[in-house]
Structure 1
């Protein structure tokens, strides 16, 4: 079958015209998409800075949360821009949004534990049951808080061991914060004979505490009979110190009371 040159030339002209029409038709879409992307990136950056600065005006708002929410605001704007760009090319954005939602749901189910840690991290940063530098005990985890992240919290144990605890663990269990109130109580209990003057023993223990400048005057130290046996009695000295001086005062007063008891004997 012979190819008719005239028909071939006409087909080429038709193809060129159709291609030109497509180029013209999509050129405006491409230009619009590029403009949308440029404007979107600029607006996303501005929104991120506005959210970051706005949250900074909220007293005590954590820096990590400020960064997190400002980044979320940026990505939300960029997501809207991408949907608008796809709309420029005639793509059904409703289907795209539905697909993104389905993918997001699948990812959420796959990363359920990770998302729990993120949610717990946000709550820890917002409600602040623990802060950096505080000594806390949560279940079997105890140590000084060094960093609170969105996924996990880093602590340093009393013996220097590195601890990385998932935020969900710290959020779902009761937090015992030894630092937050600023003062701590300590009890020293000794055993004496029932033949001893218990009032004198109690007064002597109180004097031992009052001679230490680290012991708080309010609440004042006290001593009381904690347990009474047939031949002995347990006397407890109770006093309060600042958190920073707790360990040193405890060690010194333990030694002081022990020396006093030896001298009494």
Structure 2
């Protein structure tokens, strides 16, 4: 079969025209994609900085939470830009969104424990059951809060040791914050002998509490008989003090109580047991 040179030339021209159209079309698509990427990158950075500045300007708003939300907003903008870029080349964005959702679900199932800690961290940052510098007790975990992260909370135990507690462990248990209210109550109990003067012991402890400037006068300290034990009458001094003075006041009043009782002849008995012998044998 002989091909007419004129027809061949026409076919070549048609092919070149179609090829040049495709090149121009894809060139514009590539150029548009590049411009979208540049604009999206700049917009994402602007959104991150603006949101972080706005949240940081809110009084009492946690810096960690502000950083997390601003970074999340930045990545959300970048994901949207990538979907738009793929749309420039004729890719069905609906399928892309469905694929992103499927990948997100798979990642969520694989990182279920980690995401649980993140969710707990966000709740801790929003509701603020404790703040940095406060002393907390949570199901055997106790210490001064040094950092509240998205995955875990760092504490310093009373003996100075380092404690890293997963946020989910803190969020799912009752939290005892020893500093939040600013004041704490203490019950100082000292046992005296049954033959000692109860009223003298009560007034002695009350006098010690009233003389200590760290003890609150409202509510006023109180002293009372709290228990009749096997070998001692328990006298309890109940008083309130600031959370910062709690431990020092407790130690000082315990020592002062012992010295005051010794000075006034009030005994502090140790456990005793009387054994009665009948016919040379101890009786129950």
SS at match of 1:147: strand
Cα shift readout 1:101-150 (whole Å, capped 9, x = no counterpart): 10110000000000000000000011111111111010011111000000
**What TM-score, normalized by structure 2, do the two folds share?**
0.85
Say which SS state the counterpart of residue 164 (structure 2) adopts: strand
CA distance in 2, matches of 1:18, 1:205: 103
2:91 equivalent to 1:91: yes
Find out whether 1:213 has 2:216 as its counterpart: no
Tell which deviates more after alignment, 217-226 or 46-55. 46-55
Residue number in structure 1 paired with 2:142: 142
* 1:166 corresponding residue in structure 2: 166
User: 65-74 or 44-53: which moved more?
Assistant: 44-53
**Number of residue pairs matched?**
262
For 1:259, the equivalent position in structure 2 comes to 259
Q: In structure 1, what is the Cα distance between the partners aligned to 2:86 and 2:79? A: 11
TM-score by length of 1: 0.91
Q: Distance in 1 between matches of 2:104 and 2:151?
A: 19
Unaligned 5+ runs, structure 2: 266-284
RMSD: 2.2
1:40 maps to 2:40: yes
More helix by share: 1
Q: CA offsets per residue over residues 157-190 of structure 1, 9 Å max, x none?
A: 1111111000000000000111111111222111
1:198 aligns with 2:171: no
Partner of 1:76: 76
**Gaps spanning 5+ residues in structure 1: where?**
none
Partners in 2 of 1:230 and 1:173 — Cα distance?
38
Q: Larger radius of gyration, structure 1 or 2?
A: 2
Q: Distance in 2 between matches of 1:57 and 1:196?
A: 64
